[in-house]
Structure 1
Amino acid sequence: MTTKLSRPLALGLAALLSGCGWLDSDYARPELTLPGAYTQAPAQPRRVADDWWREFGDADLDRLVDRALARNNDLTASVEAVRRARLQAGLAQGDLYPSVSASAEISRTRTLDSPHAIERKNTVSLGATWDPDPWNALGRTRDAASLEAEAAYADLNEAARALAATTADLYWQLVYYRQRIALSAESIAYARRTWELAQARYAAGAVSSLDVLEAEQSLRSQEASDTEFRQSLVETENALAILFDGPPAQVDAPRRVLPVGEPPAVDPGLPVEVLERRADLRAAEARLQASLATADAMQASYLPSFSLTGSLGSSSVSLTNVLTNPIGSLGAGLALPFLNWRQMERNVAVSESDYRAAVANFRQTLYAALADVENALSARRQLSQRHDLLQRSVETARAVEALYETRYRAGAADLQSWLDAQEKRRTAEASLLANQLDRLTAQVNLYRALGGGATLPQARVDAADDLL
């Protein structure tokens, strides 16, 4: 005869036959498809270094990044997130140990019928409770909290890396707008001289009033554009200033011209190395492991569990005799949560689904990181080629403009042709300057994509380690 066990009982027996740590899962990094090398890697590279912004050789940039790392409020919030995660891990560790409690009570009771009769009672007690955790449910919860603390610290490093990149980007934009305003001032002065020339020729009867109006329109257009550049300068300077835990203000960085020349080539290394370099990937993998530990803890939480309790106490009408006749007690409790097997199945399924989603997110984060590197390497190369072409475009535009000026002064060309040549020259010069900014920004993006680090000030590290 065959006897069929009910599903809850079968689950219970399976749990009873299991040993300590039976549900602990060994983490293995998900299968990943990684190329052997980057397709856009340079021929003669240099390895990316920590504190990568110093590669630009700009003392003002170095000083601003160091100040941001020391004072930025967002980074302070990240430090507190690390402290909180580490404190939570400490609380989870404490759940593995017995908890102790103590109390003392003194009471005096008087009835209304007999106001002179007072009932006295003095009580003291000491108790302890311990959950042995035979299936390591609390242990895996502790593991998940510890891994979350590791992820929070990686988040802090990622925040520092992003802050350094943001500071560098804003610094180069600040210098760019200063140089762009200087270029605009030159264009306005040139447009004004052209207008004055048209007025002089009109007064001499050599041209019509149309030339004067066209020249003035060109001048006013340049002046209008200049106001946009000045507004962008203010916004950029304010964005940079508030990185240093202060109100909007002028930034002490006197540089007025962007650096020229080829940025140093950077060795991207092997694609697999990005897993160790980038703090955001380290955080994602730590949370992936934490998700696995949480799934283990969820399954173990439905296995039979028991708790041990003990207490020691005494009571007396006299305060001096309160410890004379202590009474002790011991107790044990058994819980069978697997009896709620439907709820158990769903909760376990949810935790397993969370882990699978974390695996997919980790893979996608890694592939996006590899794409960031490829894009940054390609941008560096393409912007370098674009720079050479734009340089030639500027030279040609200046030559064409000079010819039109000569022809206009000789009366062989109309003013509009000269104004068009001026506009093409201004556009070419502006494009070349924008390319210089783009190349610096691309270099910053490359350092960031490769996981170039930012050394945290010791005060930040000490604050994250301060756990009371």
Structure 2
Amino acid sequence: MSKTPSLRLSVLATAALLAGCSLVPKYERPAAPVPTAFPTVSGATAPAAAEGQASAPVPWEQFFTDARLQRLVRLALENNRDLRVAVLNLEQARAQFQIRRADQFPTVNAAANPSRGNSQITGDIVNNFQVGLAVSAWELDFFGRIASLKEQALAQYLASDEGRKATELSLVASVANGWLTLLADEELLDISRRTLATREESIKLAKLRFDNGVASELDYRQAQSLTEAARATYAQQIRQRSQDENALALLLGQPLPDDLRAGLQGAKLADAAAMTSLPAGLPSDLLVRRPDLRQAEQQLIGANANIGAARAAFFPRIALTTQAGTVSNELSGLFKSGSWGFSIAPSLTLPIFDAGRNQANLEVAQASRGIALAQYEKAIQTAFREVSDALAGEATLGEQARAQQAQIEAEQARLRLSELRYSNGVASYLDLLDAQRSLFTVEQSAVQVRLAQLQNQVALYKALGGGWSEASLGKQETTNR
């Protein structure tokens, strides 16, 4: 190591001035490939935000007002494994960004280099001891290659953060849907249980009438068939109820609490607390509110930054290796006066022939950006469709539910009349059984429509970007670190 005192550091100053030269294409957010307003259904007007204002996300605690559902959502946020993976992906992306950021700075190491060899002048054995600080191959980022990679890593980190929020939003919506499904299962089971009991009484009556020659065997067999059909439906719904509870337990990351399971018995969808109404706002609001769209945009920004790194590979790469410390022929003289020295060794690598590797890497980066752009635009179109579908459901499911309820009332009146007519010998037993079957079918359909109406509200909440509790997110990060 040379003992030349105080070499100029102009090279380092020049590097500092030139570093930051970037070949990254200027990023501009692409125009949203969707209409400027959501469609309406049969003249129905979708709820909208005040003119000129963007509707703000509603935290899930404010949207879902049912205390039982809120408890389940909190359990899921604490224990769901998919959300844990999303948090760990964020931690991984954060660490990767720190690695790329560190590449912009020199790495300083302590160095000790003892050596022993023949002197080229005297031929004697000579010892050489060097101790100091060393910087090995620090790249001077003249053309922004490292800065581009850091920008790409930052975009990936931000995309992972949005991915975590998207996972939480999806989890909250899934838990809500699972809870509503269980309520519907309980209501369907209650309908099937009552229907089966009624038909078992009917078959007893039909058997008694058949045995006494009052009714034909056909009436008895028809009653028997409907009874067994109700029994089969009841068994199917018990199985479906168990499977739906298992699905909810998977989302929660633990079994359904015993008190909530016990409280479900005899529950109905009408028992579900009302959800907060949401303004749809404008399609452009989705770019701000939906975390999956922000995630897709960050991935596009990262792909754009990769082009800058690929372009920089065509230009010279300059690196510095330096060492400063003390050198002596004797170990005891390392720290004596006059033993200090400094060396600097720049290196330059200029690509001349690489068989088209750099060009191919650039084309890969450009194609990747094109893919990211298409995925971003597709994500916007998907979001627009999801909101439009949910608004269409909101405009029609309410009327469908009212029509179903009116049909139930009509079928109940029909059944009473059929029973009266049959008991007076005016109508056949087939008319009575048909009225029972129709009422059972309509009651089941009404529950399904009510479930679809409530789940459509959840879908609209999710499609509009929902909202999340920053406190719960912070707790989730702390839990999984």
TM-score (normalised: structure 1): 0.86
Q: In terms of mean alpha carbon deviation, does 442-451 or 296-305 score higher?
A: 296-305
Q: In terms of mean alpha carbon deviation, does 79-88 or 339-348 score higher?
A: 339-348
Tell me the CA shift for residue 339 of structure 1.
4.0
Question: Please, which of 138, 146, 149 is the counterpart of residue 141 of structure 1?
Answer: 149
Match of 1:395 in 2: 409
In structure 2, give the amino acid aligned to 1:183: I
Match of 1:112 in 2: none
Tell me the CA shift for residue 413 of structure 1.
2.5
How many corresponding residue pairs? Answer: 438
Take 1:240 and 1:371, find their aligned partners in 2: how far apart are those partners?
Answer: 27
Q: Is 2:132 the counterpart of 1:132?
A: no
Provide closer, same or farther for how the CA distance between residues 338 and 71 of structure 1 changes in structure 2, counting only shifts above 3 A. Answer: farther
Asked whether the equivalents of residues 239 and 248 of structure 1 are also in contact (C-alpha less than 8 Å), the reply is no
Tell me the CA shift for residue 419 of structure 1.
1.2
Question: Please, which of 429, 448, 456 is the counterpart of residue 434 of structure 1?
Answer: 448
Tell me the CA shift for residue 237 of structure 1.
1.1
User: Secondary structure at 1:67's aligned position in 2?
Assistant: helix
Question: Please, which of 258, 276, 281 is the counterpart of residue 269 of structure 2?
Answer: 258
Match of 2:26 in 1: 26
Take 2:183 and 2:422, find their aligned partners in 1: how far apart are those partners?
Answer: 36
Provide closer, same or farther for how the CA distance between residues 20 and 171 of structure 1 changes in structure 2, counting only shifts above 3 A. Answer: closer
Question: Please, which of 194, 198, 216 is the counterpart of residue 190 of structure 1?
Answer: 198
Tell me the CA shift for residue 415 of structure 1.
2.0
Tell me the CA shift for residue 166 of structure 1.
0.4
Match of 1:245 in 2: 253
Take 1:424 and 1:307, find their aligned partners in 2: how far apart are those partners?
Answer: 83
Take 1:66 and 1:20, find their aligned partners in 2: how far apart are those partners?
Answer: 45
Tell me the CA shift for residue 327 of structure 1.
5.7
Tell me the CA shift for residue 386 of structure 1.
1.2
Tell me the CA shift for residue 22 of structure 1.
4.8
Give structure 2 stretches of 5+ with no counterpart.
Answer: 1-17, 50-54, 117-125
Asked whether the equivalents of residues 20 and 134 of structure 1 are also in contact (C-alpha less than 8 Å), the reply is yes
Asked whether the equivalents of residues 397 and 452 of structure 2 are also in contact (C-alpha less than 8 Å), the reply is yes
In structure 1, give the amino acid aligned to 2:379: T
Q: Is 2:240 the counterpart of 1:228?
A: no
In structure 2, give the amino acid aligned to 1:346: A
Provide closer, same or farther for how the CA distance between residues 338 and 133 of structure 1 changes in structure 2, counting only shifts above 3 A. Answer: farther
Provide closer, same or farther for how the CA distance between residues 158 and 353 of structure 1 changes in structure 2, counting only shifts above 3 A. Answer: same
User: Secondary structure at 1:306's aligned position in 2?
Assistant: strand
Take 1:332 and 1:251, find their aligned partners in 2: how far apart are those partners?
Answer: 72
In structure 1, give the amino acid aligned to 2:476: R
Tell me the CA shift for residue 202 of structure 1.
2.1
RMSD: 2.8
Question: Please, which of 177, 188, 209 is the counterpart of residue 217 of structure 2?
Answer: 209
Match of 1:272 in 2: 284
User: Secondary structure at 1:102's aligned position in 2?
Assistant: strand
TM-score (normalised: structure 2): 0.83
Give structure 1 stretches of 5+ with no counterpart.
Answer: 1-17, 109-118
Q: Identity rate of aligned residues, in percent?
A: 28
Match of 1:350 in 2: 364
In structure 1, give the amino acid aligned to 2:133: L
In structure 1, give the amino acid aligned to 2:219: D
What CA deviation, in whole Å up to 9, does each residue of 1:333-372 have, x standing for no partner? 0010254372222211111111112111111110111111
Match of 2:475 in 1: 459
What CA deviation, in whole Å up to 9, does each residue of 1:369-410 have, x standing for no partner? 111100110012121121122122212222222222222222
Asked whether the equivalents of residues 48 and 450 of structure 1 are also in contact (C-alpha less than 8 Å), the reply is no
Provide closer, same or farther for how the CA distance between residues 380 and 197 of structure 1 changes in structure 2, counting only shifts above 3 A. Answer: same
Tell me the CA shift for residue 328 of structure 1.
4.1
Match of 2:436 in 1: 422
Q: Is 2:315 the counterpart of 1:296?
A: no
Tell me the CA shift for residue 462 of structure 1.
4.3
Question: Please, which of 73, 98, 103 is the counterpart of residue 95 of structure 1?
Answer: 103
Take 1:164 and 1:338, find their aligned partners in 2: how far apart are those partners?
Answer: 55
Take 1:147 and 1:463, find their aligned partners in 2: how far apart are those partners?
Answer: 25
Match of 1:14 in 2: none
Take 2:22 and 2:93, find their aligned partners in 1: how far apart are those partners?
Answer: 27
